[in-house]
Amino acid sequence: MDDLLAFLQRNRPPKSLIFDSQEAIYSTKPFLSFLKIKPEIHKMPKAITPPQSFLNSMKVAGGKFSFERSLTLETPTFIPKGVRFYETNSIGFLSYLSEESRFFNTTIGRYCSIAESVFSGIQQHPVDRISTHPFTYNWSLNPKEDLSCIFSPFQEYQAVVDTKAPLPNKDVPRTIIGNDVWIGRSATIKPGITIGDGAVIGSHAVVTHDVAPYTIVAGVPARTLRQRFDDKTIEKFLKLQWWLYNISPLRKDPSYTNVELFLEKLETLIKEDHIEMLRPETYILENENGQCRKHVL
């Protein structure tokens, strides 16, 4: 332990290890220099942040966030600083996220409200090996993998790490967050979970099973507290799927607070073909060799 503390004291990482929105590249050089490892041998994850000019043109408000592979966006949307997307993710129309949240292979529907420090679909440590510690799987020493373990510079770690063992949960199933979902602060959603339309997840909840539409859950593990509406009303919500339409004509009436009246008027407009489908501007951001590329759908 004394050797570790001494090493960290002598080799503090530079404060300049931040995202550069102008170049849209996550610079690995300062960190690699700190670890005294050649960049051409060991590489950090190529997480990038989109240039501000991209975000402005796409109607994406918020701050500096990063993604690894691709991010599909229906805009407008709001993504603040500190949010990170792992692998491929998507966000629906007018959904907003909050600071320091993490998403791994997650689909987020339209009109979602997601609070701070929400973790969705993040990979887990193995529980069926001799240890849950990363020395039991190939995490950091293979040149083709990312250098992300804090112990990688030390020979003691290199002597015990199994570089041939596969990553745990390598094929992580996709996590689905439906439309009009509200997720409270510091909630955790396990990989592969489906959260139904209109559901509410309480703060600090740990969601280990699928959540039915329009259901309110909370706790560790999350358990059902109640439904938002009666069965008949929920059935009508799911039948009409208001988030698929441009509901601006209904804004003139005080029907947002009157659920029965809103659904009745929406159903009439749909039957009479007097309401348009919602067609938001949609973009795909892709990480192409460390550069951010924007594509219009």
Active-site residue list: 125
Distances (CA, A) of 46 to 19, 26, 27, 120: 11, 7, 9, 20
Contacts of 86 (CB under 8 A, 6+ apart): 68, 102, 103, 104, 105, 122
Closest to 114 (Cα-Cα) out of 223, 211, 203, 218: 203
Identify the residue whose tokens are 């030390």. Answer: 154
Distances (CA, A) of 120 to 31, 177, 261, 266: 27, 9, 35, 33
Report residue 37 as tokens: 């490892």
Q: What is the DSSP letter of 188?
A: E
Burial 222-259, CB ≥16 within 10 A → b, else e: beeeebbeeeeebebbeebebbebebeebeeeebeeee
CA distance 1 to 145: 27
CA distance 238 to 260: 14
* Cβ atoms 139, 148 nearer than 8 A: yes
CA distance 151 to 275: 59
